[in-house]
Amino acid sequence: MRKLPKFAEHNCYCEQMIAYNYLFSYAHINGWPLDYILKCVQNANDRGELKRYDIQAIKNCITKNYDKYIKKPFIAGSYNEVAEQLPL
């Protein structure tokens, strides 16, 4: 997994930010179910959009935190908040 390069002082990984973006855009805004979101992540990976990242970590983070996020969505104010709210 990769730490966010310009923000090394934060405890957030790129995979957590990607998972947050999918949860926010796909689950919170569009209300799509977990299995559809995971298919979208896989499709993005198949197109090469996520080849630099640990795709399994992204999927695991989404799966692990989906129910909690749906019950209490949040708009992240910092990278640390993403790291705290969406543990890998």
Instruction: Show me where the domains of the chain are located.
Output: 27-77
Tens of pLDDT, residue by residue over 6-62, are 545 556 789 999 999 999 999 998 899 999 999 999 999 999 999 999 999 999 999
Per-residue confidence at 5, pLDDT binned at 50, 70, 90? Answer: low
Tell me the C-alpha to C-alpha distance, in Å, between residue 56 and each of 3, 64, 69: 16, 12, 19
The per-residue pLDDT for 22 is 97
Buried b (16+ CB within 10 A) or exposed e, 37-66: bbeebeebbeeeebeebbbebbbebbeebb
Confidence band (pLDDT; 50, 70, 90) for 79?
A: confident
